[in-house]
Copies of this chain bind each other. A is one copy, B any other.
């Protein structure tokens, strides 16, 4: 009989949490007075929940999803990329062309007890606005028991 580890356990964001984060993001979006697209993906970058505020730019529909995808699949907030790229020209001119990889702010990993369970991505304003909306979504994690 073989003795090998057949499977790796992991956690994925629930729809209940994804919707709660989406709601918090929408409240923040209303407060900022701009129309954002907000995407929540699971641990492997698959779409879990999504909402586009009325008037959200068409391009933001995909960018928000790509930000969430980038954050989850690399386990790194999208705004952290540029600092790692700026003094590394091959990456700066190369990795930025990776399909779906976004290297500016507005995408964050979602973690429970420091374990990756998904990603949130926001697009519609300058990335500094997008980041605020993400942070409002992430604050929901602090309210969990």
Which residues of A are at the interface with B, using a C-beta cutoff of 8 A? 1-20, 26, 44-55, 57-59, 61-63, 70, 72-75, 79, 81-82, 85-86, 89-99, 101-105, 112, 117, 127, 140-141, 143-145
Contact = CB atoms under 8 A, between A and B. Distances in A.
How often does this chain occur in the complex, in copies?
4
A112 B8 CA distance: 11
A3 B14 CA distance: 13
A93 B82 contact: yes
B58 A73 contact: yes
Nearest to A84: B126
A14 B9 contact: no
B55 A8 contact: yes
